[in-house]
Amino acid sequence: MGVVLLALAGLALADPCDPGVQAEAAQQAFLELDVPRVEEALRAAEEAMACGGAVEPDVLARLWLIEGSILLFEGDSQSSAEAFSAAARVAPDQWIPDLGAKVRAVYEEAAANPPSTTGEIILEPDTGHIAVLDGAVVAFPATVPTGLHVVQVGNGSHMEFAQIISVARGVNRVFTDLDPIDSKPEDPEPEEIPPEQIPPEPPPVEPKTLFSGMPLELQFSTGSALALGQTRSGTTPEDDDLNEPAAKVLVPVEVGVSASVRGAWFRGAGVVAPVVSGPLLYTVPGGVHGARLGFGGHVAGGLVSGPTYLGALAGVTLPSRIALQGLAGLHLADLPLCLEIRVGTNLLSGAGPELSTGLNIAYKLPI
């Protein structure tokens, strides 16, 4: 007991801006299975990164090894794997033997399967300070593997801001609370991230943009659409009877272009939609006709946050419908795919509105 009290007293007197001290405290608390103390030490380590120097990769790896272990202990295997993968990325030779063989096996599996996707980190605003990523000075915006990273901002020897972020695919914005400096000091040469830390991908290409920071994506999607309305009937100029069922089922195929900027997204797409439940009736000079194929397009837009997005859609399906819908979507982790649900109404000429729903899966390709 006396040894433990002396160790705790030493930690209390240690430098509060040294995350290595908090790593020691977190490790000791984990070995004693004191989860609240572990979480407190991890929070203190992040605070220490905002007042000391650039964090050492070995210290950062130890913090993520402990965090991954406590998450594994709590049953959160996905977050645990993210922490272990980050630890292996910044310091692959770092390990804490006291964590044991079972934890080591989970760590090695995460290290052997690093993320295959990247995300872009943007600092806002540009205050003229030196920016550090995972302990190394880099130029922002920075393209990095998805997963956990540490961003520090300061004057090099003394950091004034730090944040641990989980980088997702696409744009990730970090907002600092620092005031701009009068003159920007000459930055040291940015240290490039070692090639082995970057997943094998084609060299980055400057995206074609409508505005700066607005990359475009080509989107292909298909799914199913259901419209619930009235049963309609009519006779063609050739005296054939046509019946449109109350429930209309279509299989839309869409090709479009989407863009995102500052938390918002926009999309325009062309649509071809075979009708599988019966013809869509429409009236033109000369009589009633039935269509087995709808075609047209839509425009949509809304807000995006991480892998999820919300928005609204307005479109036309010729020969007879205008669609107004709300939508929600989810980007699938580590895949260029997203799922999208739509609910709204169809407006028809000469008939009442219809309830319309849809479920689409889309493949996105940067252009």
- Residues 134, 171 within the same domain: yes
Say yes or no: 90 and 135 in one domain. Answer: no
Range list of H helices, the chain: 2-13, 19-31, 35-48, 57-74, 77-90, 101-112
The total number of structural domains that make up the chain? 3
State whether 291 and 167 are in the same domain. Answer: no
Q: What digits encode the pLDDT tens for the residues 276-317?
A: 988 888 877 777 888 889 899 999 999 988 889 999 999 998
Please indicate, yes or no, if residue 143 is contained in any of the structural domains: yes
Domain check: are 322 and 221 in the same one?
Answer: yes
CATH of residue 55 = 1.25.40
Interval 334-348 mean pLDDT: 91
Q: Given this model, what pLDDT does residue 345 score?
A: 96
Mean pLDDT of the chain: 85
Q: Which of 96, 112, 128 is the last residue of a domain?
A: 112
| Shared domain check, 164 and 24 | no
Give the end of a domain, one of 89, 112, 135: 112
Residue 153 C-alpha from the chain's centroid: 23
Q: Among 96, 89, 87, 26, which residue's Cα sits nearest to residue 61?
A: 87
**Domain boundary residue, one of 197, 232, 266:** 197
Residue 68 belongs to domain spanning = 2-112
**Residues with Cβ < 8 Å from 304, sequence gap 6 or more?**
170, 260, 263, 264, 265
Model confidence pLDDT, tens digit, residues 240-271? 788 888 898 999 999 999 988 878 999 999 99
Structure tokens at 102: 């079972």
Check whether 347 has a pLDDT greater than 70.
yes
* Cα separation values, 13 from 9, 19, 321, Å: 6, 14, 73
Averaged pLDDT for residues 164-174: 92
Q: What residues does 224 pair with on adjacent strands?
A: 359
* pLDDT tens profile 80-136: 999 999 999 999 999 999 888 999 999 999 999 999 999 999 988 888 888 999 989
> Residue 252's domain is classified under what CATH number?
2.40.160
With respect to residue 267, please indicate whether it lies within any of the assigned structural domains.
yes
